[in-house]
Amino acid sequence: MSDYPMSVREMDEKDIPAVLAIQNETHFENWDEKALKRLLGKSFTFAFVAEAPTAAGEWKVAGFAVFSCAADEAEILAIATAQEFLRKGVATEIFAEGESALADAGARQFYLEVRAGNANAIAFYRKLGFDQCGERKKYYSDGENAVLMSRPL
């Protein structure tokens, strides 16, 4: 995987402020504090953070991902990396951890939806082996379409 030093672990409540900061920084605002706390308590939710060293040598949350699993289907609900850690393999490492946990939980197929205009995310998912399997017209509140993607786990 990545040569950049980092560790991936399950997300817990103490990580919520860092996750909210990443959401704000990346303009990817899915959840507030209360919603994240609720998600962490659900048996079908798998949430991870990656910690990595800053330029000053201090370790901090560099990215996060939230997945859900129902029966043999997994879904990526969110995956994001802090700006200062982009292009260091953070999202790939978190995805790998999530993939392993979801496979252990019995998932066999991965799904996700992504904004049609988010070319970087679509390229990232294609690199992970996802293919487009559909589209949801005007899915987002601003009218943008969602691209549906899937791949075997």
- The first and second tokens of residue 62, run together, are 């560099």
Beta-carbon contacts of residue 61 (< 8 Å; ≥ 6 apart): 15, 18, 19, 22, 49, 50, 51, 82
pLDDT tens profile 67-92: 999 999 999 999 999 999 999 999 99
Q: Rounded distance, CA 2 to CA 90, Å? A: 8
What's the pLDDT score for residue 2? Answer: 61
What whole-number percentage of the chain has pLDDT above 70? 98
Q: Which of 88, 12, 103, 20 is nearest to 49 (CA)?
A: 12
Q: Is the pLDDT of residue 99 over 90?
A: yes
Superfamily for 1-107?
Answer: Gcn5-related N-acetyltransferase (GNAT) (3.40.630.30)
Q: How confident is the model at residue 28 (pLDDT cuts 50, 70, 90)?
A: confident
Q: Is the pLDDT of residue 143 over 70?
A: yes
Q: Where is 113: in which H helix or E strand?
A: strand 109-115
Enumerate the domain spans of the chain.
1-107, 112-153
Q: Is 133 left (phi over 0), alpha (psi -120 to 50) or beta?
A: alpha
pLDDT tens profile 45-66: 999 999 999 888 889 999 999 9
What's the pLDDT score for residue 1? Answer: 54
